[in-house]
Structure 1
Amino acid sequence: MKPPLLLIGQGSHDDAYAAEFGRFVHRLRCRLDQTAADVSGGYLERATPRLSESVASLVARGHHRLVALPLSLSRVSDDFGAAMELEQKRHPTLMYDYGRPLGPDPRVLALLAERLNEAAAEISKPQRPLELVGARPRLRAVDALIEESLHVEPGETAVVLVGEGSTDAAANAEVHRVSRLFWETHAYDFMTVETAFVSVTPPGVPGGLERCRRLGAKRVIVVPYLLFAGGMLERVWAQALAYGAGHPDLDIRCAEVIGDCEILADVVIDRYEEALQLVP
């Protein structure tokens, strides 16, 4: 039997994020069940199940070696390593191997392109700045006071790729690198792909939008570089809405997150298999 896969999330108080994380863990459990590999998920903080609970459950089921995979698009913080070291102290027989973060895998970039194209395809449809999705109000598009019939070429449309933001300069630089890769591989028809961050470090979403406006963009599509829906996504959309309210001459559209899907599961499974090959 293969070592189990342990997905590690940072953790959030947001129910929507936790629900999508849980669905993704279930998807992977169904996929890897065919290869007799167990799958579990745990959070470092603020949400349940905590990492310590998930590890204890795996050990109780007889697993003493596992593959730990931070479910993150960016560089892994020291918190992940410290958390796993603590689990080793709690369970002296436990051994683990790390899987690489998802990062700018070509399939992740392709998923971002899908979200961008979905947002662009909705441009010709009547939009409202706020619509209800499930039980939660979510921003779908920021309505500017522009005639719906106004034709805007892709070359007049800019993209803002929005990462979480970090105190780690290397992690922020990685998001800038992803923006460039995304522009050259999937968004070359657009005017530019600018980088912004939700919090912690500049530029924020308004700063990214302002740069696009000054470059002459008539339309901007905001693409969140985030895995799952939740509070972070709501902040991206809220910042875009606030900026759009003060700039009615600029048409601003907001895309969805990558989300729970089969292609994302493929990337995670490849990271898992890659880690297994490194096991002596």
Structure 2
Amino acid sequence: MKPPLLLIGQGSNDDAYAAEFGRFVHRLRCRLDHTAVDVSGGYLERSTPRLSDSVSSLMARGHHRLVALPLSLSRVGEEFPAAMALEQQRHPTLMYDYGRPLGPDPRVLALLADRLAEAAAEMSRPRPLELVGARPRLRAVDAPAADDVPGHVEPGETAVVLVGEGSTDAAANAEVHRVSRLFWETHAYDYMTVETAFVSVTPPGVPGGLERCRRLGAKRVIVVPYLLFAGGLLERVWAQALAYGAGHPDLDIRCAEVIGDCETLADVVIDRYEEALQLVH
């Protein structure tokens, strides 16, 4: 019998993120059901189920070896190994192998290209956004009149801002810059540029990325979140883009969706799982 797959999330107070994480865990259970692989998910903090509860549940079902896979696009911090080491102290018979983070797998880059294409295809049907309520939650508002729709803009006049989460780990931030370059050369080569920005912690922020594109002469900018699931981080990306756009009405700014729960992402996770198993044989 193959060991179970344990997906580890950072954790979020946002219900939308937790719901999509849960749907993705369910998708993987369905995908791996024919191989009798048990799939579980747990968070390091803030959300439930906690990692400790998920590990305890797997141990109670007789699993003493598992594959732990941080559900992350970039390199993980020390909190993930520390959390698993703590679980091993709690359960001395526990053995585990690590799976690699998901990015920048070529299939992840292809998913980003899909999100970019979807945002670009909606140029003729713009969906403006406005802030709603006390939180920076966004909703669609009525589209502008036809006269207000921006005219045709060539890809060479359109820039892309790839937005990562941001980290205190310089290597993790450098990896996002690397992904931007890979994405530009492999999927977005028709566009003027692919610039890098971050939601928080480290510069440049989303406004800084947009400003650089404007100074390079872009007439249109598409913001592509380098994020797995919807939630608070995505809303902050959109809110920052919206705030910048309010002060620069001549620049057409569009926001793409996150990668999201999908079959291709499940393919990447399953390959990481199988890879981890091969490394120990």
* Same fold, TM-score > 0.5, yes or no: yes
Q: Does the Cα contact within 8 Å between 2:164 and 2:197 map onto a contact in 1?
A: yes
CA offsets 1:191-212 (integer angstroms, 9 cap, x no match): 0000000000000000000000
Q: Whole-Å Cα distance in 1 between the matches of residues 218 and 178 of structure 2? A: 22
Q: Does the Cα contact within 8 Å between 2:131 and 2:139 map onto a contact in 1?
A: no
Q: Does the Cα contact within 8 Å between 2:136 and 2:236 map onto a contact in 1?
A: no
Task: Flag as ranges the 4+ runs of structure 1 deviating above 6 A.
Answer: 131-137, 140-147
Deviation at 1:129, TM superposition (A): 2.1
CA offsets 1:154-210 (integer angstroms, 9 cap, x no match): 000000000000000000000000000000000000000000000000000000000
Query: 2:3 — aligned with what?
Result: 3
SS in 2 for 1:203: coil
Q: Does the Cα contact within 8 Å between 1:228 and 1:260 map onto a contact in 2?
A: yes
Q: Does the Cα contact within 8 Å between 2:5 and 2:68 map onto a contact in 1?
A: yes
Q: Does the Cα contact within 8 Å between 2:13 and 2:46 map onto a contact in 1?
A: yes
Q: Whole-Å Cα distance in 2 between the matches of residues 145 and 213 of structure 1? A: 23
CA offsets 1:219-270 (integer angstroms, 9 cap, x no match): 0000000000000000000000000000001000000000000000000000
TM-score, normalised with respect to structure 2: 0.94
Structure 2 segments unaligned to the other structure (5+ residues): none
Q: Does the Cα contact within 8 Å between 1:141 and 1:254 map onto a contact in 2?
A: no
Give the direction of change, closer, same or farther, for the CA distance of 1:110–1:135 in structure 2 (3 Å limit).
farther
Q: Whole-Å Cα distance in 1 between the matches of residues 145 and 212 of structure 2? A: 20
SS in 1 for 2:53: helix
Are residue 100 (structure 1) and residue 100 (structure 2) matched?
yes
Deviation at 1:125, TM superposition (A): 1.2
Give the direction of change, closer, same or farther, for the CA distance of 1:154–1:144 in structure 2 (3 Å limit).
farther
Give the direction of change, closer, same or farther, for the CA distance of 1:62–1:134 in structure 2 (3 Å limit).
farther
Q: Does the Cα contact within 8 Å between 2:136 and 2:235 map onto a contact in 1?
A: no
Q: Does the Cα contact within 8 Å between 1:144 and 1:244 map onto a contact in 2?
A: no
Deviation at 1:278, TM superposition (A): 1.3
Which deviates the most, 230-239 or 148-157? Answer: 148-157
TM-score, normalised with respect to structure 1: 0.94
Q: What is the percent sequence identity of the aligned residues?
A: 90
SS in 1 for 2:136: strand
Q: Does the Cα contact within 8 Å between 1:198 and 1:235 map onto a contact in 2?
A: yes
Please provide the CA RMSD for this pair. 2.6
Q: Whole-Å Cα distance in 1 between the matches of residues 136 and 243 of structure 2? A: 16
Query: 2:41 — aligned with what?
Result: 41
Deviation at 1:124, TM superposition (A): 0.8
Deviation at 1:279, TM superposition (A): 1.9
> Number of residues paired by the alignment?
279
Q: Whole-Å Cα distance in 2 between the matches of residues 74 and 228 of structure 1? A: 14
Which deviates the most, 146-155 or 82-91? Answer: 146-155
